[in-house]
Amino acid sequence: MAKLKSVKEFEKLHKQLTGKKNPKKPSIAVCAGTGCVALGATGVVDAFKKEIKRMKLSEKVELLITGCHGFCERGVVVLLRPEGILYQRVKPADVPEILEKTILNNEIIERLLYEDTVTGKKIVHEKDIPFYKHQDRLIFGSNNQINPTSIDDYISIGGYSALARVLSDMKPEAVVDVINKSGLRGRGGGGFPTGKKWEYCRRAEGDIKYVIINADEGDPGAYMDRSILEGNPHSVLEGLIIGAYAVESTEGYIYVRQEYPLALEHFTTALDAARKYGFLGKNILGSGMNFDVKIARGGGAFVCGESTALMASIEGRVGEPRAKHFHTVERGLHESPTVLNNVETWANVPVIINKGWEWFSEIGTDRSKGTKIFSLVGKVNNTGLVEVPMGTTLRQIIFDIGGGIQNNKKFKAVQTGGPSGGVVPESLLDLPVDFERLTEAGSMMGSGGMIVMDENNCMVDVAKYFVDFLKDESCGKCTPCREGLIQMSEILKDITEGNGKEGDLELLEELSWVMTETSLCALGASAAFPFLSTLRYFRDEYEVHIKEKRCPAHVCKALITYTINAKKCTGCTLCALKCPQDAISGEKKALHEIDQSKCIKCGICVDACKFDAVIVD
Amino acid sequence: MVKFTLNDRDYEVEDGKTILEVALENGVKIPTLCYHKDLTSYGACRLCMVEIIDGARPGLQASCTYKVSDGLVVKTDTERVKKTRDIVFELLLARCPDSEKLTKLAEEYGITKSRIEWKDKGKCILCGLCVRACAEVSQRNAINFAFRGIERQVNTPFKRISQICIGCGACAYVCPTGAIEIEEAD
């Protein structure tokens, strides 16, 4: 691997690497993102390696260990090219059969195919599976084509050609102009126009300027940034280098959270490889540009995803926000002009440079351009990462791509935007998802978390979960956020435990208002949103908890009791056998009874009973 | 020089001053707990919120960190300011009902009782004046904030007895709630 001294040398390498590829050669792409690794991908990869060697197939077939393909519900996912066959829930034991039947004899293994949740039909090709069919994977699509630890793989699919183009053909101002015109907005939460941010930083005065990747993804249930870094780290790095060129920065950082070891490993490998090729360092591709990137690791604090707290943390100070009377684009890291963008935002940059701002701005809605990756989790059939054009409706995402609600339960709400967001109820399922529409609905885009909830989710409990999360994660600097969250948490705890009283909702609303109005940073200012949005759409549920001391979704343990229906109980004894508290007694073939003083309301008896005899109320 | 309006009166002051500084110099009353004229402003207690009627960032802003600029229009006594301030007082009183200084200040603004009760009672309101006094005046950096959220506290590194504290008492002197006590060593 020699250092590339000019754009010409890069183009030569690009041609050479593309030429090496034989599109007809069978390849096996095994997803080894964190989700699939948890489901046993390492064992599947080892089995493929062993069997390919044993069957002497290494010349005939290529094994590709990739990052996340997005279809986490069905992991371990294996994609066979050139046909595009997708096998799901693959176990190491399936590997010899895949090689023998499908690779050598073009036979499909029915058992490993995806079965449509609606029609019950088996689907052979990835492109025909509804989960993939309705997506538009601009950013995430390369994940299943490359080995994330190989820079050559990235270059062979067009990687670093945007950087080469920028360095040879474009002035920094022109790069800012393209990003401005594309309409790209920050994917980390705020949705600030990226081009504007760059423009302000370019204009700001400073001896040194910084560019930073915010990889402190902390929203519960969200993992798209992790999966981009794990699966395609060079795309983020290339975006960052282009950004550095645009604002004339010489030093960059990635701030990556403690909990992302694989992302860190792959990004570190990417940095080393980029230095060897000369995409980082002095005189990049002979252009005269000098730039390098340092790694800063978070310590596990959610608040460090906030721009000023993040910069304080890099500087080695306590990770807490400061008043933003001057912007970080003017005075950010070490008091110097700084551009901080989220992982997904940076990954959009090379795509826009390659395909043009005109093309990019055609995708999406009026004010929200391009695609957005969502992590679709909760009570939905196809959990995973989905990338759709802005403006796709919630119904399309949850039902067409997500395959609807698990166990045919009724959809109740979807939580978007993480702890700063809110819930969107069934009546708004046809809402096109973009920055403005979600805010109007009392929620927000945030970084793209989407937690689907069904009739068995209690909205008071949901609000309490997020308030408790924020209570622990607030930096504690300003009074309204710190003390307000403590009090909100206490009141919500009372309500879920049957100690709610008249006036609680009004006090919660007052506290929410003060937190929103007077908190120091955006995290505090939005901390009450999960409560406010659940109250807006599900006020009746709060009132039933307070006035009738009932939890309609049967979640709040203090408000429910388990009893046995005398008409339905056959005296099979199964519930008594399974009860971990020995709270159920009764003779064989006679009515059983639950001792309320012993019952911990775990629900095991409900699942155990085959006659629906256990009543929860 | 900067021309701006505070409570319907026009002012012309030097560049770089905060709203709070101008207010205090001109006898406009704004309550504060985490502010001290000789220390860097921190913007944590949120008692000094004022309403920016016209300016770059309209809405409620902490006057101790917001710098005046040409054409800025500020009010310190709107309903929005008063109502939010009352609740911030209530939140602080719930945490520190035994702090005389806090109770007295709250009384001046008509708050005698908090509707909220809280079990973890103490005197420290985490304003950080002690931390800044130790760093900026005594230049010892013996104490700082530790932990976060509900666990946040002012302490020495690893909660060990400090080797660099010189016992100057600046922290206790500057504390607005009387939370720091100094003991004479034998």
Q: What is the pLDDT of residues A330-348, one digit of tens each?
A: 999 999 999 999 999 999 9
Tell me the Ramachandran region of residue A595: left when phi exceeds 0, alpha when psi lies from -120 to 50, beta otherwise.
beta
Q: Are A167 and A285 in contact (CB under 8 A)?
A: yes
Tokens read off for B76: 């310190």
Would you call B50 an interface residue with chain A, using a CB distance cutoff of 8 Å?
no
**Which residue carries 């304003």 as its tokens?**
B127
Tokens read off for B161: 């007895």
How large is the average pLDDT for residues A517-526? 94
Separation between Cα atoms, residue A177 and residue A337, nearest integer Å = 19
Rounded to 10 degrees, the C-alpha dihedral A192/A196/A202/A203 comes to -110
State in Å, rounded, how far the first CA of chain B is from the last one: 54
Separation between Cα atoms, residue A89 and residue A412, nearest integer Å = 29
Q: Tell me the DSSP string of A299-318.
A: -S-GGGGSHHHHHHHHTTS-
Q: Is A514 in Cβ contact with B149 (below 8 Å)?
A: no
Q: Tens of pLDDT along A450-503?
A: 999 999 999 999 999 999 999 999 999 999 999 999 999 999 999 999 999 999
Residues contacting A537, CB < 8 A, separation 6+? A413, A423, A424, A425, A442, A459
Q: Are B33 and B127 in contact (CB under 8 A)?
A: yes
Query: Beta strand A78-81 with A85-87: parallel, antiparallel or unpaired?
Result: antiparallel
The SS3 call for residue A504 is: helix
Q: Are A367 and A183 in contact (CB under 8 A)?
A: yes
Residues 3-42 of B with CB under 8 A from A: none
Distance from A472 to chain B by nearest Cα, in Å? Answer: 5
A chain contacts of residue B145, beta-carbon cutoff 8 Å: 318, 320, 476-477
Q: Is B59 in Cβ contact with A482 (below 8 Å)?
A: no
Residues 482-521 of A with CB under 8 A from B: 482-487, 490, 507, 510-511, 513-514, 517-520
Would you call B95 an interface residue with chain A, using a CB distance cutoff of 8 Å?
yes
CA A542 to chain centre: 30
Q: Are A422 and A530 in contact (CB under 8 A)?
A: yes
Q: Are A140 and A384 in contact (CB under 8 A)?
A: no
Distance from B41 to chain A by nearest Cα, in Å? Answer: 10
Q: How many CA atoms lie within 13 A of A524 on its CB side?
A: 29
Distance from B91 to chain A by nearest Cα, in Å? Answer: 6
Q: Considering Cα of A223, then A225, then A229, then A234, what sign does the dihedral take?
A: positive
Separation between Cα atoms, residue A561 and residue A554, nearest integer Å = 9
Complex ipTM, two decimals? 0.95
Would you call A200 an interface residue with chain B, using a CB distance cutoff of 8 Å?
no
Q: What is the pLDDT of residue A20?
A: 83
B chain contacts of residue A477, beta-carbon cutoff 8 Å: 44, 126, 128, 145, 152
Q: Are B145 and B131 in contact (CB under 8 A)?
A: yes
For residue A78, pLDDT over 80 is answered with yes
Task: Tell which residue, A405, A442, A433, A616, has the closest CA to residue A526.
Answer: A442
Q: Tens of pLDDT along B30-67?
A: 999 999 999 999 999 999 999 999 988 899 999 999 99
Q: What is the pLDDT of residue A119?
A: 85
Q: Are A360 and A351 in contact (CB under 8 A)?
A: yes
**Scanning every residue of chain B, which has its alpha carbon at the shortest distance from the alpha carbon of A471?**
B149
Task: Tell which residue, A120, A117, A109, A95, has the closest CA to residue A40.
Answer: A95
Q: Is A323 in Cβ contact with B150 (below 8 Å)?
A: no
Q: Tens of pLDDT along A287-323?
A: 999 999 999 999 889 999 999 999 999 999 889 998 8
Strand runs (DSSP E) across A361-497, as ranges? 371-378, 384-389, 411-416, 422-425, 449-454
Distance from B62 to chain A by nearest Cα, in Å? Answer: 8
Distance from A318 to chain B by nearest Cα, in Å? Answer: 8
Separation between Cα atoms, residue A584 and residue A595, nearest integer Å = 6
How large is the average pLDDT for residues A360-382? 95
User: What domains are defined for chain A?
Assistant: 24-81+85-124 (3.40.30.10), 151-361 (3.40.50.11540), 371-454 (3.10.20.600), 459-548 (1.20.1440.230), 561-616 (3.30.70.20)
| Among candidates A475, A477, A483 on the partner chain, residue whose Cβ is nearest the Cβ of B91 | A483
Distance from B180 to chain A by nearest Cα, in Å? Answer: 19
Q: What is the pLDDT of residue B99?
A: 83
Separation between Cα atoms, residue B87 and residue B74, nearest integer Å = 21
One-letter amino acid identity for A73? E
Helices A233-247 and A172-182 meet at what angle, rounded to 10? 120
Task: Tell which residue, A268, A28, A283, A17, has the closest CA to residue A148.
Answer: A268
Give CA separation, A392 vs A105, A224, A398, A523, B186, in Å.
Answer: 40, 18, 11, 27, 73
A chain contacts of residue B154, beta-carbon cutoff 8 Å: none
**Which residue carries 């860097």 as its tokens?**
B40
Q: Is B92 in Cβ contact with A479 (below 8 Å)?
A: yes
A504 CB neighbour count, 10 Å cutoff: 17
Tokens read off for A239: 């975006």
Separation between Cα atoms, residue A350 and residue A239, nearest integer Å = 5
Q: Is A482 in Cβ contact with B149 (below 8 Å)?
A: yes
Mean model confidence pLDDT for chain A: 94
Separation between Cα atoms, residue B21 and residue B37, nearest integer Å = 8
Q: Are A113 and A88 in contact (CB under 8 A)?
A: yes
Q: What is the pLDDT of residue A221?
A: 85
Q: What is the pLDDT of residue B186?
A: 67
Q: Are A298 and B40 in contact (CB under 8 A)?
A: no
Q: Tens of pLDDT along A118-141?
A: 788 999 999 999 999 999 999 999
Q: Tens of pLDDT along A560-602?
A: 999 999 999 999 999 999 999 999 999 999 999 999 999 999 9
Distance from B185 to chain A by nearest Cα, in Å? Answer: 32
Residues contacting A54, CB < 8 A, separation 6+? none
Would you call A471 an interface residue with chain B, using a CB distance cutoff of 8 Å?
yes
Tokens read off for A262: 């694989």
Separation between Cα atoms, residue B85 and residue B90, nearest integer Å = 9
B chain contacts of residue A478, beta-carbon cutoff 8 Å: 43-46
Q: Is A514 in Cβ contact with B88 (below 8 Å)?
A: yes
B chain contacts of residue A486, beta-carbon cutoff 8 Å: 118, 150
Q: Is B116 in Cβ contact with A507 (below 8 Å)?
A: yes
Separation between Cα atoms, residue A229 and residue A255, nearest integer Å = 12
| Among candidates A471, A479, A490 on the partner chain, residue whose Cβ is nearest the Cβ of B45 | A479
Q: What is the pLDDT of residue A517?
A: 96
Tokens read off for A402: 């997500």
Q: Is A476 in Cβ contact with B126 (below 8 Å)?
A: yes
Query: Beta strand B153-155 with B144-146: parallel, antiparallel or unpaired?
Result: antiparallel
Would you call B82 an interface residue with chain A, using a CB distance cutoff of 8 Å?
no
How large is the average pLDDT for residues B68-88? 96
Tell me the Ramachandran region of residue A105: left when phi exceeds 0, alpha when psi lies from -120 to 50, beta otherwise.
alpha
B chain contacts of residue A301, beta-carbon cutoff 8 Å: 148
Q: Report residue A458: phi and psi, to 5°.
A: -90, 125
Task: Tell which residue, A380, A445, A468, A457, has the closest CA to residue A412.
Answer: A457
**Which residue carries 């955006």 as its tokens?**
A522
Q: Are A563 and A617 in contact (CB under 8 A)?
A: yes
Q: Tens of pLDDT along A189-242?
A: 889 999 999 999 999 999 999 999 999 998 888 999 999 999 999 999 999 999
Tokens read off for A132: 């993939």
Separation between Cα atoms, residue A389 and residue A382, nearest integer Å = 19
Q: Are A148 and A230 in contact (CB under 8 A)?
A: yes
**Which residue carries 């060697």 as its tokens?**
A53
A614 CB neighbour count, 10 Å cutoff: 22
Separation between Cα atoms, residue A336 and residue A248, nearest integer Å = 13
| Among candidates A473, A511, A514 on the partner chain, residue whose Cβ is nearest the Cβ of B149 | A473
Please state the pTM of the whole predicted model: 0.93
**Scanning every residue of chain A, which has its alpha carbon at the shortest distance from the alpha carbon of B144?**
A318
User: What domains are defined for chain B?
Assistant: 129-174 (3.30.70.20)
Separation between Cα atoms, residue A217 and residue A257, nearest integer Å = 7
Q: What is the pLDDT of residue A114?
A: 96
Separation between Cα atoms, residue B36 and residue B23, nearest integer Å = 14
Contacts across the A-B interface (CB distance below 8 Å): 99
| Among candidates A323, A487, A514 on the partner chain, residue whose Cβ is nearest the Cβ of B65 | A323
The SS3 call for residue A59 is: coil
